[in-house]
Structures are given as C-alpha cells and as structure tokens.
Amino acid sequence: MIWWRVDIHAIMAAARRSDPLWLMAGLLTVIPLTVATAWRFRMLSRTGLNLGVASRLILSASTLNLLLPSKMGDLAKAWVLDRRYGYDPKLAFALVIFEKLLDLASLLFWGVLALIWMRPDDPVFLLGALATAGLLGLLMLLLSPWAAGTGMTMLGRHLPRKLAAMAEQWHDFTGWFWGEKLRAMNTVGLSLAIWAGHLAQFWLYARALGSVPLIGNMAAATLSILAGLLPFTMAGVGTRDAAIVYFYHDWLTPAQCAMLGLLATLRYVLPAIAGLPFMGDYLHRRPAPDEA
C-alpha cells in the first residue's frame, strides 16, 4: 500500500540520487554486527560454544526471522541447542530469551536517550518516549540481579508447575550471568555497542538518501524497529515501513522513506541469505547414548 501511494518514479529517482559511499558503508556494517552478535551469544552460552557454531546459529535464525513475525526465529536457536548440542531444553530456552531481552533493552536504552535529547513536541514521539522508558524499566528488572535473587523464586510459588520450572531456570541463568561481574559488564557493554552499531547502520542508509541528524535517526529508528517487531507481518515488512514514513518525514521525502524501508529490510535479508546453508541444523538430532 505504501508503494502504491508513492510515485514509483520518485522512488527510483531517490535510489539513483543516493550516495553510493554511504550506502556501501551501511551494507558492509552487516558483517561486524553479525560477528559481534555471534561473539555475544558465545559469551552467554555457558558451555563455551565456539565462534563458528555461534555464527551458524545466528545466521540460521536470521533466515527464520524472514518467515516469522517479531523475530521469533531467534527463539528457534533453543531447538538446535537442545537437539544438536545437548543443552537442557529449559536452559536453552532461558538462554535465547535472555539474549532477546538483552537485545531489546539495549535498543531501548539508546532510543530513550535519543528521545529525551530531542525533547519532542509531537505527542506521538512523546508517547513513544514514555512507552519506551516504561518497557526499558521492566526489562531491566527482568534482567537484573533481582531476577537472580528472590524475585523469580517468589514468583515461581504462584505459577503452574511448568511455568514454575521455567522461572527457576531463569533464576539459575540470571544468577550465573551476574555471578561474575566483569563478564556480565562486558556482555552488557558489547550488547550496547551492537545496538549502537545497528542504529548507526540505519543512519548510514538514511544519510545515503538525505540529510538526517544522527540523534534524530536514533529516535526514529528505535520507534521504527519496535513497530517492525509487532506480530502483524513476516519480518516486520509493512509495519516497519509505515513507521519509517511517519517518523522520518521531517528529513526525507515519502519516496526516500520508502527507499529507506527497503534498505531496512535488507538488514535482515543479507544475514538470512548467508544462513540458508545452515538450515539443516534444525533437522539434525544428536544420537541418544543408547543409539551411539
């Protein structure tokens, strides 16, 4: 619908006028971001998965993310950890949930700072800032040492048995994570750097199309990415594009916003293509001891 309402010739003109150097810089950013994400997953794995295995998991999950809403492909890594690498299913699920929440909290951290800096007069931006700050506070509570202390234990007493077991595993995982402060701070720092890189990549794409301020991009990109996580479409296509058209309209024309939406989707398509050779991991099952 967005492309139908925007002049296709204007979109093609915006593509032709884009700066190839800024565009290439944005495309190349995919590589270090993917490596850094795999390294962080290795740090979270507890059993010391090597970087190659972590990279396979990250890339194959990216492939599934093109088919599933809300980046639910990230959660499918728990299936591979269980069936291929012998992880306890509850531990594998706690690991991928922790990674996903850490991702979201890191994005919200930069988004809240940008939105506060901008002091937006637009009520939609203001509502976005309040909602973002509230969600960030909730995530920080879930990821904090409180969750590793008595919080999840107390909560587990009031949950059904299976959910109580998951709460206990979350208590155990967060306890391990915060048990070594240096490792925890390094992991959090790396996660913040990864999402600073993602927002910078968004800015490189936007800068290739027009003049967009860095801080303004951080705020607009955060809200656009969050819109893309809503479970309405595959890989956020459409919802994220509509948000980009709205939040970038002060700096870019509708045609340039449509082009930025395509480039934003390309951020997911390139790792997904690289992950295709590893999709067989989801079909592999490690033989049981009596089958070996």
The amino acid occupying position 188 is: V
pLDDT for 215 beyond 60: yes
Task: Output phi, psi for 74, to 5 deg.
Answer: -60, -35
Return d(Cα 164, Cα 161) in angstroms, integer: 5
Q: What is the pLDDT of residue 291?
A: 42
Place 79 in a pLDDT band, splitting at 50, 70 and 90.
confident
pTM score of the predicted model: 0.86
Q: For the chain, what percentages of helix, strand and coil (3-state, to nearest 5) are there?
A: 80, 0, 20
Tens digit of pLDDT for each residue in 223-232? 999 888 887 7
Q: What is the pLDDT of residue 65?
A: 85
Q: Which of 61-70, 136-145, 146-155, 233-242 has the lowest mean pLDDT?
A: 146-155
Question: Which one is predicted more confidently, 121 or 16?
Answer: 16
118, 112 contact by CB (below 8 A): no
Output DSSP code: residue 29. Answer: T
**18: its two tokens:** 């884009």
Place 44 in a pLDDT band, splitting at 50, 70 and 90.
very high
pLDDT for 285 beyond 70: no
Longest dimension (CA), the chain: 66
Residue 102's alpha-carbon distances to 37, 80, 120, 139, 289, in angstroms, are 11, 20, 26, 8, 35
3 state SS of 230: coil
Tens digit of pLDDT for each residue in 133-164? 899 998 888 888 776 555 555 555 555 666 66
Return d(Cα 33, Cα 270) in angstroms, integer: 12
If you search the block for the tokens 């740090």, which residue do you land on? 43
pLDDT for 292 beyond 50: no
Residue 114's alpha-carbon distances to 127, 224, 246, in angstroms, are 14, 14, 17
Q: What is the pLDDT of residue 159?
A: 55
30, 58 contact by CB (below 8 A): no
pLDDT for 99 beyond 70: yes
Q: What is the pLDDT of residue 13?
A: 87
Q: What is the pLDDT of residue 290?
A: 43
Q: Collect all residues with Cβ–Cβ distance below 8 Å to 262 and sequence separation of at least 6.
A: none
Q: What is the pLDDT of residue 256?
A: 92
Return d(Cα 50, Cα 43) in angstroms, integer: 10
Q: What is the pLDDT of residue 80?
A: 86
Q: Which of 50, 46, 38 is nearest to 183 (CA)?
A: 46
* Cβ neighbours of 100 (radius 10 Å): 16
Q: What is the pLDDT of residue 167?
A: 73
